[in-house]
Amino acid sequence: MGLGSITRRPLQANILMLGLDSAGKSTLLYKFKYNDVFLTIPTIGFNVDMIEIEKDFTLTFWDVGGQKKMRPVWCNFLENADGLLYVVDSSDKQRLEESKKEFELILKNEFLKSVPVVMLANKQDLPGALNAEEITRRFNMKKYCSDRNWYVQPCCAITGEGLSEALQRLTTFAKHFSRSKETFTIFKEIETL
Ligand SMILES: Nc1nc2c(ncn2[C@@H]2O[C@H](COP(=O)(O)OP(=O)(O)OP(=O)(O)O)[C@@H](O)[C@H]2O)c(=O)[nH]1
Ligand SMILES: [Mg+2]
């Protein structure tokens, strides 16, 4: 029996949304879910929502608060992530370095090994916002994400521009990742037989 015939099609995947406070994570989540813009307040704790992307496939989004006092909590959400959606306020040049440091730190965590990354270069509507190429360069994506699938998507959570592309990319990456995780588990099971 070939491996292909025993791997199952994934039905759902967990997407972890991280990024500094005010990057736009909760606004994005509501836009994904309701295609509408809601007034947000800084997230203390987390929001979780499921979105049916296609028939028989659901993404579960974990939107965790990004304030400094919330960041130590991030590590509790890393296990079981099938994709990381890292959100950046592309117009906040002053805190770009801070965002990059948090990003690098999180990528080093063992639980996120090989987990694919979609980076959202959000707030493209604001004057002076850095474009996706510039965000890619400043975050050193080619170096830090060389061991996984990654993509940088420019977007605006208010107008929704770029969001369907981001969801499409996340879905492809997360499906691929859950399949490889499952194949790995099967191999381990065979090894221990
Ligand atoms: N102009 C503009 N404003 C945005 C965009 N996305 C989010 N915002 C605004 O940015 C502010 C912060 O958005 P939130 O979604 O609350 O940010 P967050 O990342 O969830 O912040 P925490 O919960 O503190 O981690 C809100 O006033 C949003 O309306 C965008 O694409 N363009
Ligand atoms: Mg929030």
26 is in an annotated binding site: yes
Domain boundary assignment for the chain: 3-192
pLDDT tens string 62-109: 999 999 999 999 999 999 999 999 999 999 999 999 999 999 999 999
Topology (CATH level 3) of domain 3-192: Rossmann fold (3.40.50)
Atom of ligand 1 nearest to the CA of 20: 25
Q: How far, in Å, is the centroid of ligand 1 from the Cα of 86?
A: 13
Q: How many CB atoms lie within 10 A of CB 162?
A: 18
pTM for this entry: 0.93
What pLDDT was estimated at residue 1? 46
Q: Which residues are catalytic?
A: 67
State if residue 158 touches ligand 1 by the CB under 6 angstroms criterion.
yes
pLDDT tens string 143-191: 999 999 999 999 999 999 999 999 999 999 999 999 888 776 676 677 7
Answer whether 148's CB lies under 8 Å from 114's CB.
Answer: yes
39 is in an annotated binding site: no
Separation CA 73–CA 68 (nearest Å): 10
